[in-house]
Amino acid sequence: MIGSKILLVDDEEIFCDNMAKLLGNRQYKVTAVYNGESAIRALEKENFDVVVLDLKMPGMNGITTLKEIKKLGLFTETLLLTGHGSVDAAIEAIRLGAYDFLTKPCEIDELVEKIEGAWRKKDEAWKKDLEEKLKKVVESPSSVFKLFD
């Protein structure tokens, strides 16, 4: 979705910055960070629709970062980028809750297509959660005060 907020996480700074520019040219709001720790800090401060996360990074790798993202309980979807040799790890990431993965290098149109799919999944989850909360309010009006705990 045009205007979606994307968090790019990749230790290859030139690649990350170039992808941020290409996505920005397509009207996405992009924040680029270069390691998992910075990604978690950014997610704690700001909401993002989709996280595009490199799998192989020094320090906090993509799998560890994904686990930490999931602990935050956010309405965001994560798309993994991986080199050809680490497809098994990307499949493991999907088991842990990632939306999908792409191998690097990837075409920008392919990345945009995956981002759009991840955004739709995030939006559907958000709507479902909102519907469940509204249903609780209808069933028990006093529960309105517990909605945003």
Per the structure, the complete domain to which residue 9 belongs is given by 5-146
CB 81 within 8 A of CB 52: yes
CB 65 within 8 A of CB 81: no
- Between the alpha carbon of residue 126 and those of residues 44, 78, 93, 133, the distances in Å are 18, 15, 21, 11
User: How far is 61 from 55, CA to CA, in rounded Å?
Assistant: 6
* Cβ atoms within 10 Å of 93's Cβ, excluding its own: 25
- Sign of torsion over alpha carbons 50, 96, 120, 133: negative
**Which tens digits make up the pLDDT trace of 19-78?**
999 999 999 999 999 999 999 999 999 999 999 999 999 999 999 999 999 999 888 999
User: How far is 45 from 37, CA to CA, in rounded Å?
Assistant: 13
User: How far is 25 from 23, CA to CA, in rounded Å?
Assistant: 5
The CATH number assigned to the domain holding 98 equals 3.40.50.2300
**Which tens digits make up the pLDDT trace of 75-95?**
899 999 987 667 788 788 889
pTM: 0.83
Give every CB contact of residue 49 below 8 A, 6+ residues apart in sequence. 1, 4, 5, 6, 76, 77, 118, 119, 122, 123
Residue 112 or 141, more confident: 112
Q: What's the domain count of the chain?
A: 1
CB 35 within 8 A of CB 59: yes
